[in-house]
């Protein structure tokens, strides 16, 4: 089934009709639990774009419209909520992120560059890791590793990755590992390489590269793709159940602070899926989480009751994840044309590389179609996109067209002919326009060159063909900040304040749809989420101002004040000011570099901040 704008509009229209037919005369005998009013209410419903009030009962919306009409649902026990001029939207629906892995970011040393951190050269990488190790002696003592997340060679003054020699300055006795902001590369010090058994004689694994020191085979500490993933997952496996639950809780709490009522774990391992299932069964999940286990390990997880289109205790498995290539900013994505500036040590025709052979990818997609599993495929480079399109085309030819909603995650370097193939095959592109801010200058000047960089995340081509798309943050690659996602989708402004691909910009309303209603559609949840309509879940976010009004360049500054899931407040900014400050350098002049995290007696995450 092809996902087009008119198709979604028809779905919206069906929901709106239920409002026009609602028997208001029964309101007095069926009073609402709560009524929201007194602010701007943006419904993301084309037939009723705004409303003055919303009434909810038992976690669902029962009335939307003029205040006088909705107040007919007021009873003696109805709670009246005055929005006090703030703006209410549908709760944000995460079309692609890693809510479990975001927890790793929350407890690791923050190596992010500005504006999300303060690490912009290798000396600051070393200093921040040392400070974190000192502040987190309990963690390093228990697990024996120093861990950092979020360094970005594109933003470091040296314009290179740190090496084992750099990290040996942090510690020569304790293993040190740092994760690239893309999540597709990492660096280990000499002690860490020794412990995991990587040396001069270690061969590159399929779909991965162990970078070497110039002129020899000795590893320089930088590990790409599958050469890194195995080591990171091995480290994670050493964490106990309580620690993994704390990681998951940290990720969920961070998502809620940005207004998400539905989160995604877009590449689950068997261990992380088991942890999420356990937390769900305990009743401690208060927003929806949909997981997509990695196809290479996740077939065991694809079974009832969790594999479902409906949630059990706010958790479900939605399908499988297939990763076909790497990261463009890390220069491991698989392209059909060479990189503009190839990485050190590579030949001039270097194009990145694939994770799997064509035969393997065909087999994975065939398996998913045969079993009725939705497929989310990570495809950054256009060669990887070609590989995915070929596999989907073969599977559809074999099993016929159906409403499967396969997704092309990132699709950053998609060519025009590939966007047209997405429409033909019913593939939903989930673009990553946040790259235009975080790495737009890097893509233009080093990764792709000016011509190809202009068309990264080509939203304009999709809209010209009347297609829907979604837009994501890929947390922990970037913070799960919905307003930054929407801002980048609208503005496409780089760090140097240049517009990258003005023809691919869109309006704030379309950007909002891509992060609410169209994201719900991607998850087969458009009948229950994504817009404020009668019969849908009472999932809302309250913002401090309206993203549809005012200067579009100011959208990223908008803050979530409250997050409401099925009528219950799960986040209120005034009550969690420390969490918001920890993850946003915009809160004050001083960025928080170091924090520790633990579970309190109630099983709730505690964050202890340490200001530099």
Task: Please report the domains of the chain, with CATH numbers, ordered by start residue.
Answer: 119-236 (3.10.310.70), 243-598 (3.20.20.140)
The tokens 């004689």 sit on which residue? 201
pLDDT at site 593? 30
Question: For 141-176, how does the pLDDT look when each residue is reduced to its tens digit (9 = 90+)?
Answer: 888 889 998 899 988 999 999 999 999 999 999 999
589 pLDDT higher than 70: no
Indicate the average pLDDT of the chain: 88
Unique residue bearing structure tokens 């860490």? 192
What pLDDT is recorded for position 556? 96
Q: Tell whether the model's pLDDT for residue 513 goes beyond 80.
A: yes
Residue 333 CB burial class (10 angstroms; 0-12, 13-18, ≥19): buried
Q: What are phi and psi of 184, to 5 degrees?
A: -100, -5
Q: How many Å apart are CA 511 and CA 4, to the nearest integer?
A: 15
Q: What angle do CA 91, 489, 571 make, to 5 degrees?
A: 25
Helix axes 416-425 and 382-399, enclosed angle (nearest 10): 20
- Give pLDDT, residue 226: 87
Q: In whole angstroms, what is the distance from residue 316 CA to residue 263 CA?
A: 11
More confident residue, 293 or 574: 293
pLDDT tens per residue, range 355-370: 999 999 999 999 999 9
Determine which of 225-229, 255-259, 521-525, 563-567 has the lowest per-residue pLDDT on average.
Answer: 225-229
Whole-number pLDDT of residue 288: 98
Distance CA 264, CA 99 (A): 6
d(CA 472, CA 356): 25
Coil/strand/helix, residue 146: strand
User: Where is pLDDT greater, at 587 or 67?
Assistant: 67
Rounded to a whole number of angstroms, the CA Rg of the chain reads 24
Contact 54, 63 (CB under 8 A): yes
pLDDT higher than 70, residue 582 = no
What is the number of alpha carbons within 13 Å of residue 59 lying toward its C-beta? 9
pTM of structure: 0.84
Burial class of residue 593 (count of CB atoms within 10 Å of its CB; 0-12, 13-18, 19+): buried
Which positions ≥6 away from 451 have C-beta within 8 Å?
A: none
Cβ atoms within 10 A of the Cβ of 507, count? 13
Phi-psi group of 65: left, alpha or beta (phi > 0 → left; psi -120 to 50 → alpha; rest → beta): left
DSSP-derived pairing of the beta strands 87-90 and 34-42? parallel
């Amino acid at each position: 089934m092809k996902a087009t704008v008119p198709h979604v509009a028809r779905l919206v229209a069906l929901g709106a009709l239920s409002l026009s037919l609602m028997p208001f005369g029964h309101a007095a005998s069926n009073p609402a639990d709560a009524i929201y009013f007194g602010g701007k209410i943006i419904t993301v419903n084309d037939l009723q774009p705004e409303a003055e009030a919303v009434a909810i009962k038992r976690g669902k919306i029962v009335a939307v419209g003029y205040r006088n009409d909705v107040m007919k649902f007021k009873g003696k026990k109805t709670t009246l909520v005055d929005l006090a001029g703030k703006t209410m939207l549908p709760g944000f629906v995460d079309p692609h992120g890693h809510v479990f892995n975001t927890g790793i970011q929350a407890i690791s040393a923050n190596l992010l560059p500005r504006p999300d951190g303060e690490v912009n050269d290798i000396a600051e990488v070393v200093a921040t890791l040392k400070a974190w190790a000192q502040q987190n002696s309990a963690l390093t003592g228990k697990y024996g590793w120093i861990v950092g997340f979020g360094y970005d060679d594109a933003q470091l003054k040296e314009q290179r990755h740190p090496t084992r020699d750099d990290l040996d300055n942090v510690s020569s006795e304790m293993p040190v590992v740092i994760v690239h902001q893309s999540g597709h590369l990492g660096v280990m010090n000499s002690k860490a390489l020794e412990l995991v058994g990587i040396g001069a004689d270690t061969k590159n694994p399929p779909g991965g590269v162990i970078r070497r020191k110039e002129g020899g085979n000795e590893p320089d500490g930088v590990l790409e793709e599958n050469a890194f993933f195995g080591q990171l997952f091995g480290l994670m496996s050493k964490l106990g159940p309580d620690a993994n639950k704390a990681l998951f809780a940290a990720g969920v709490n961070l998502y809620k602070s940005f207004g998400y009522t539905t989160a995604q774990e877009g590449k689950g391992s068997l261990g992380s899926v088991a942890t999420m299932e356990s937390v769900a069964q305990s009743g401690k999940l208060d927003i929806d989480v949909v997981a997509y286990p990695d196809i290479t390990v996740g077939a065991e997880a694809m079974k009832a009751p969790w594999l479902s289109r409906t949630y059990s205790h706010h958790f479900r498995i939605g399908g499988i994840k297939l990763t076909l290539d790497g990261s463009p900013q890390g220069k491991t994505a698989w392209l059909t044309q060479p990189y503009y500036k190839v990485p050190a040590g590579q030949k001039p025709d270097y194009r990145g590389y694939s994770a799997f052979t064509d035969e393997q990818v065909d087999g994975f997609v065939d398996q998913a179609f045969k079993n009725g599993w939705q497929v989310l495929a990570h495809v950054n480079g256009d060669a990887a996109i070609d590989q995915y399109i070929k596999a989907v085309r073969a599977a559809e030819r074999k099993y016929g067209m159906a409403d499967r909603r396969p997704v092309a995650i990132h699709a950053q370097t998609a060519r025009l002919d590939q966007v047209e193939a997405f429409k033909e095959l019913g593939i939903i592109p989930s673009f990553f326009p946040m790259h235009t801010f975080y790495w737009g200058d890097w893509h233009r000047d080093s990764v792709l060159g000016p011509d190809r960089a202009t068309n990264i995340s080509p939203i304009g081509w999709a809209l010209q063909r009347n297609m829907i798309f979604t837009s994501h943050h890929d947390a922990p690659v970037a913070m799960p900040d919905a307003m930054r996602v929407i801002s980048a989708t609208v503005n496409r402004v780089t760090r140097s304040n240049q517009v990258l691909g003005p023809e691919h910009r869109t309006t704030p309303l379309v950007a909002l749809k891509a992060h609410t209603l169209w994201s719900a559609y991607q998850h087969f949840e458009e009948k229950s989420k994504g817009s404020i309509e009668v019969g849908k879940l009472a999932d809302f976010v309250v913002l401090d101002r309206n993203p549809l009004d005012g200067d579009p360049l100011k959208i990223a500054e908008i803050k979530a004040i409250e997050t409401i899931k099925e009528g219950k407040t799960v986040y209120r900014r005034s009550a969690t000011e420390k969490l918001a400050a920890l993850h946003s350098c915009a809160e004050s002049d001083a960025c928080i570099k170091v924090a520790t995290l633990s579970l309190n007696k109630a099983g709730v995450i505690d964050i202890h901040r340490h200001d530099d």
